[in-house]
Amino acid sequence: MFGIILISVCTLMHVYVFWRAASIPFVDQHISRKIFIGTGLVLWAIFFFGRIIGHSRTGILAGVLEFLGMNWMEL
């Protein structure tokens, strides 16, 4: 249950951060919309799979995904 709440809250925060960043004129002029959305989806996927895979498994992949995902969410 906690994992679902964590993923939901972090997803909302992730959408808000990217929505606000897209409204900055510098970002809008220098980064194409496709790259910006793609970057957001990749970062969210790293967080999501890190949470799912890293929660129940051990190993290098699980550790790296969870580390990257949680570090992105703490920024």
* Per-residue tokens: 26: 């510098």
| Secondary structure percentages of the chain, helix, strand, coil, to 5 | 90, 0, 10
pLDDT value for 35: 93
pLDDT value for 75: 65
**pLDDT tens-digit profile, the chain (75 residues):** 787 888 888 889 889 988 999 899 998 889 998 999 999 899 888 888 888 877 777 778 888 888 888 787 776
For the chain, the domain total comes to 1
Question: Whole-model pTM?
Answer: 0.77
Instruction: Name the residue range of residue 18's domain.
Output: 2-74
